[in-house]
Structure 1
Amino acid sequence: METEVKKTTGPRDVFSHLLSIIFLYVSVIGFGILLFGIIDVYFPDVLSDTYGWYAKSALRWPLALLVVIFPLYLWFTSYLERDLEKNPEKRALKIRKWLLYFTLFVATLVIVGDLVSVIFSFLNGELTLRFVLKVLTVLALALSVFVYYGWNVRKDVAASHDPRMKLFVRAVSALGFTAIIFGFVVAGLPQTARDRQFDDRRVSDLEQIQNQVASFWQTKRRLPNSLDELRDEVLAVIPPRDPETQPK
């Protein structure tokens, strides 16, 4: 059996399994960050720096990541399943078994750690709705990984051939794409994000003008008649202009 596996496997199989697992980990982390960010938007912590608009802007990176990585993960998983159907002996491939068991090991640790965190927070009186939702998010992600890869370890048939597992995979995939779409809705349109950047720039410029006016008053004991009076080539003081209507 081992000889047959060596004859039918090569670098392509090794890197395909590695890429599939890497895409899995990146996707899970991306979904975790995305869902945590959505929870922060709807259940904000006023003591956190990510309150308000900044919580929405934090969704862009996980969204950009998932739009590319998650479909690639699904494609690689589907490709590997088709390959295993044609070459059943590849199920004994060592790197496949190592990666599957390592993934189950990590998922188990995450689930146990998640439950410990819930109990500790409950005893500490910190079991808020915001915290519970984040704990459930981690638990759902870890359980999804554990169920699918645990099934792959125990069974010798592709998930697409088992009605229950096929339904499970489709449901998880649909939830994943739903989360991505909802993330775009929460994060807002690109034009809205650009308008926000202009507003942030204007706020920063107004603070700069305030400092320049205060410095002008301390020096000349009067207020400037216009912004042009604040200009000082020697001290390199140039009053800012509106970034959208007067960029220069």
Structure 2
Amino acid sequence: MNQPLIDFVRDALLRGVSRADIALALEKGGWSAKEIQAALDAFAETNLPVPVPRKRVSSSPKEAFFFLVMFSTLYTAAFAFGAMLFDLINLTFPQPSETASWRIQSLRFGIAWTVVAFPIFLWMSGLIAREAARNPGQRISPIRRWLTYLTLFVAATAIVGDLIALIVTFLEGDITLRFGLKVAVVAVLAGGTFLHYLRDLRRDEVAPSAAAPGRASVGAKVAFAGLVAAVVAVVAMGVWYAGSPMRARLLAQDRQRVQDMQTIYWRVEQHYRDKGQLPASLAACDISPATFVERKKDRVTGEPYVYRAVDATHFEVGATFALASAPEESARRRYSIGGPESDGFWRHDAGPRMFRIDVARKKR
């Protein structure tokens, strides 16, 4: 803050000049309204005949830690929540060329980040609000103001990028419901954050002492409850789409079984190319490193994988699966580099499943 300006205001108040007259004189001297208000706010309004300086706030390591944690968890929760909404939109309105497997994986990461970051953000916000109620000067803390302006910058950048993407997509004639929902998500998240912190910052700049929080207003309580309810609802929807942890575990086990089936297929096919005939058993493949089958048993149940030669060029491999193939699992296997090339070949139901393979198909 400009020291000559502070000295002038202090001397004027000491001589009994009113704040309005001081502001008018400074305005004629070329000072901005913000500078004038900051200089006047440097002194408390009291009935004493001498000006009483307000306490100047400096950032302590503890305060810096609190604000850094709060704003970093805000960014993390906002981006994770937005990514989770994007994944839900993509899963609800899929493109024909898209597969759901990596969307489900991304959705799980979004759920995890939101569940961790959002409660920490709420907790740190509560701690800072209670501290500001005891010490109103903390609301004009330098680090708080810097991080708030950084948040405004990030939010404004997101809004501008959102509008640019909307205009470009409109000009390309590719406006769809899916795209419109994504634009709305970015606008609501970035716009809500921008307006909240801009209003908070303006209130502090106009009258820092008056901005000290007391009891939360009814509107603030309703907004807080709505925010928490929205996050809980979206997380619950994400869990429903992604499936329970137990289901994810069983799907992962089935995915490993399919990978083992593919490995057996590769080794048996290599044996056929080398020897000109199918092996009588999987043990017969162990004669060469190129055909060695490492996993002949299910690693979960310990049951041996089924292999049998049907005729000179056909064989079957099989396993017992815990669940039926999920749509995203079928899509994942459709584009797998290992295994017969027909779409959905490795699709299976729950229980025993045999896969019949023709090793001579590539020669025809």
User: TM-score higher than 0.5 here?
Assistant: yes
State the shift of 1:73 in Å. Answer: 0.2
Match of 1:204 among 251, 256, 259: 259
Residue equivalent to 2:164 = 116
Residue equivalent to 2:310 = none
Q: Does residue 1:154 correspond to 2:202, yes or no?
A: yes
State the shift of 1:239 in Å. Answer: 4.8
State the shift of 1:5 in Å. Answer: 3.1
Match of 1:5 among 38, 41, 56: 56
**Structure 1 Cα separation of the partners of residues 64 and 241 of structure 2:** 39
Contact 1:5 1:89 in 2 (8 A): yes
Contact 2:156 2:194 in 1 (8 A): yes
Q: Does residue 1:242 correspond to 2:292, yes or no?
A: no
**165-174 vs 81-90, which moves further:** 165-174
Match of 2:82 among 32, 43, 47: 32
Contact 2:268 2:291 in 1 (8 A): no
Contact 1:159 1:165 in 2 (8 A): no
**Structure 2 Cα separation of the partners of residues 160 and 179 of structure 1:** 29
Question: Can you list the C-alpha shifts for 1:156-191, whole angstroms capped at 9, x where unaligned?
Answer: 143953332332222112211221222112111111
Distance 1:105 1:160, change over 3 A: farther
Distance 1:159 1:165, change over 3 A: farther
**Structure 2 Cα separation of the partners of residues 112 and 148 of structure 1:** 17
**233-242 vs 128-137, which moves further:** 233-242
Secondary structure (helix, strand or coil) at the match of 2:287 reads: coil
State the shift of 1:74 in Å. Answer: 0.4
Q: Does residue 1:193 correspond to 2:248, yes or no?
A: yes
**Structure 2 Cα separation of the partners of residues 186 and 217 of structure 1:** 43
Contact 1:232 1:238 in 2 (8 A): no
Residue equivalent to 2:234 = 179
Contact 1:30 1:63 in 2 (8 A): yes
Bigger relative contact order, structure 1 or 2, given CA contacts below 8 A and separation 6+?
Answer: 1
Distance 1:79 1:210, change over 3 A: same
TM-score by length of structure 2 reads: 0.62
TM-score by length of structure 1 reads: 0.89
Which stretches in structure 2 are left out of the alignment for 5+ residues? Answer: 1-41, 43-52, 204-210, 305-364
Q: How many residues align?
A: 245
Q: In proportion to residue count, which structure has more strand? A: 2
State the shift of 1:38 in Å. Answer: 1.4
CA-atom RMSD, angstroms? 2.2
Q: In proportion to residue count, which structure has more helix? A: 1
- Tell me the amino acid that sits aligned with residue 71 of structure 2: I
Contact 1:28 1:141 in 2 (8 A): yes
Distance 1:154 1:173, change over 3 A: farther
Q: What are the residue-to-residue correspondences of 1:1-248 with 2, within 5 Å?
A: 1=42, 4-6=55-57, 9-48=59-98, 51-155=99-203, 156-158=211-213, 161-232=216-287, 234-235=289-290, 237-240=292-295, 241-246=297-302
Contact 2:57 2:140 in 1 (8 A): no
Matched residues, percent identical? 32
**Structure 2 Cα separation of the partners of residues 147 and 181 of structure 1:** 27
Secondary structure (helix, strand or coil) at the match of 1:215 reads: helix
Distance 1:76 1:219, change over 3 A: same
Greater C-alpha Rg: 2
Question: Can you list the C-alpha shifts for 1:72-117, whole angstroms capped at 9, x where unaligned?
Answer: 1001111111111111111111111111122112111211210121
Contact 2:133 2:214 in 1 (8 A): no
Secondary structure (helix, strand or coil) at the match of 1:34 reads: helix
**Structure 2 Cα separation of the partners of residues 247 and 160 of structure 1:** 65
**Structure 2 Cα separation of the partners of residues 21 and 102 of structure 1:** 10
Secondary structure (helix, strand or coil) at the match of 2:91 reads: helix
- Tell me the amino acid that sits aligned with residue 55 of structure 1: R
State the shift of 1:3 in Å. Answer: 7.0
**Structure 2 Cα separation of the partners of residues 238 and 53 of structure 1:** 28
Contact 1:224 1:230 in 2 (8 A): yes
**Structure 1 Cα separation of the partners of residues 303 and 146 of structure 2:** 57
